[in-house]
A = this chain, B = another copy of it.
Amino acid sequence: MYREEIKVLDCTIRDGGLINNHYFTDEFVREAYKALSKSGIDYMEFGYRNSKELFPTKDYGAWKYCDDDKISEIIDGIESNLKISIMVDAHRVKEQTFAPCHESPVDMIRVATYVKDIDKAIDLVNRTSDLGYETTVNIMAISKESEPATVEALDQLAKTAVDVVYVVDSFGALYCEPIEYLVKLYREHLPGKEVGIHCHNNQQLAFGNTIEGIIHNANYVDGSLHGIGRGPGNCCLELLVGFLKNPKFNLSPILKFIQEHMLPLREEIEWGYIIPYMVTGILNEHPRSGIAYRQTDDKDKYAEFYEQMLEALD
């Protein structure tokens, strides 16, 4: 698939950080930035800009906050065309500040929101787009939302300066047909804006569904290195780059980073296709119950977990 408009965003540090409280070493982030730059990826998401009141700095690594100075320190001296994004939760905005874009290493602010918080998301989009940032709204947990509420949110977003609105399958619950349906719905209600797609891999569908989104003209696509991300993780960036035929992409630096950095990391923290996450995916539930179960001695009692979940939802 070669379509010049397609932009690939790597969310390794941001979504992967949900597993390790955003404690990545500076070296890891710097090497990731180098590898992604060499591989022709369009955006790298460094993490969240979260409130230090809500998330005390003693409990989290630097990428929970993404201070401009910290990002600048990491990328200093590396030649790159890679743009930088950070994510902000619309419902967790407290004392965070944003410098004018031209004074910041950040190019894009991605606002994560539920449909119910769309007004907060729009407020943040307005503030940050006025500062010169590219902006996106990532509507989470879309598999749980009703169509009227979703359409109302999209129609509100259509009137804002937001550049991209993402279909986010937070629970890894969607099959290809609802992905097609949602991408078309977003495009219909967001004339002149781009649609993005962010998938989770509970059912090994993150890559397939991302392709489905691309086929229906989602142009902003998320992946992560070796699929790292909370629970089952995300669409593998290496698969996306193998699929996209734009000659600017180069797979080798990504594969090299995976062998040198992701394999050792996977010895320490867990992500990927594991049955409790498959179960939460097919039941269209948040992965938190699966994550909690994986911390117990019963972590591999898959049938019991499934039965418990069925009972809890009955």
Query: Which residues of A are in contact with B by a Cβ distance under 8 Å?
Result: 175-177, 201, 203-209, 211-212, 215, 236, 238-239, 242-243, 251-253, 255-256, 258-259, 263, 273, 275, 278, 281-282, 300-303, 306-307
Please tell me which one of the listed residues B236, B256, B302, B303 contacts residue A204 in the complex, with CB atoms under 8 A apart.
B236
A306 proximity list for chain B (CB < 8 A):
251-252, 255
Query: CA A242 – CA B211 in complex, angstroms?
Result: 22
Please tell me which one of the listed residues B205, B207, B259 contacts residue A203 in the complex, with CB atoms under 8 A apart.
B207
Which residue of B is nearest A272, CB measured? B273
5 residue pairs, one from A and one from B, having the closest CB atoms: A208-B208, A242-B282, A256-B303, A255-B302, A255-B303
Inter-chain pairs besides A204-B206, A204-B236, A256-B302, 19 sampled, C-beta below 8 Å = A175-B211, A176-B176, A176-B211, A176-B212, A201-B204, A203-B207, A204-B204, A204-B208, A205-B207, A208-B208, A236-B273, A239-B278, A242-B281, A242-B282, A252-B306, A255-B303, A258-B275, A259-B301, A273-B273
Q: How many copies of the polypeptide does the oligomer hold?
A: 2
Distance from A294 Cβ to chain B, minimum over Cβ atoms (Å)? 13
Query: CA A275 – CA B177 in complex, angstroms?
Result: 28
Assess the B207–A204 pair: CB atoms within 8 A: yes
A307 proximity list for chain B (CB < 8 A):
252
A205 proximity list for chain B (CB < 8 A):
207-208
Assess the A176–B208 pair: CB atoms within 8 A: yes
Distance from A269 Cβ to chain B, minimum over Cβ atoms (Å)? 18
Assess the A259–B302 pair: CB atoms within 8 A: yes
Assess the B303–A259 pair: CB atoms within 8 A: yes
Please tell me which one of the listed residues B207, B238, B258, B278 contacts residue A208 in the complex, with CB atoms under 8 A apart.
B207
Assess the B242–A203 pair: CB atoms within 8 A: yes
Assess the A238–B278 pair: CB atoms within 8 A: yes
Which residue of B is nearest A281, CB measured? B242
Distance from A121 Cβ to chain B, minimum over Cβ atoms (Å)? 30
Query: CA A211 – CA B212 in complex, angstroms?
Result: 12
A208 proximity list for chain B (CB < 8 A):
176, 204-205, 207-209, 211-212
A251 proximity list for chain B (CB < 8 A):
306
A281 proximity list for chain B (CB < 8 A):
242
Assess the B300–A263 pair: CB atoms within 8 A: yes
Query: CA A87 – CA B117 in complex, angstroms?
Result: 56
Query: CA A307 – CA B259 in complex, angstroms?
Result: 14
A282 proximity list for chain B (CB < 8 A):
242-243
Query: CA A301 – CA B206 in complex, angstroms?
Result: 25
A263 proximity list for chain B (CB < 8 A):
300
A207 proximity list for chain B (CB < 8 A):
203-205, 208
Query: CA A207 – CA B209 in complex, angstroms?
Result: 11
Please tell me which one of the listed residues B204, B211, B239, B300 contacts residue A239 in the complex, with CB atoms under 8 A apart.
B204
Query: CA A275 – CA B307 in complex, angstroms?
Result: 34
A300 proximity list for chain B (CB < 8 A):
259, 263
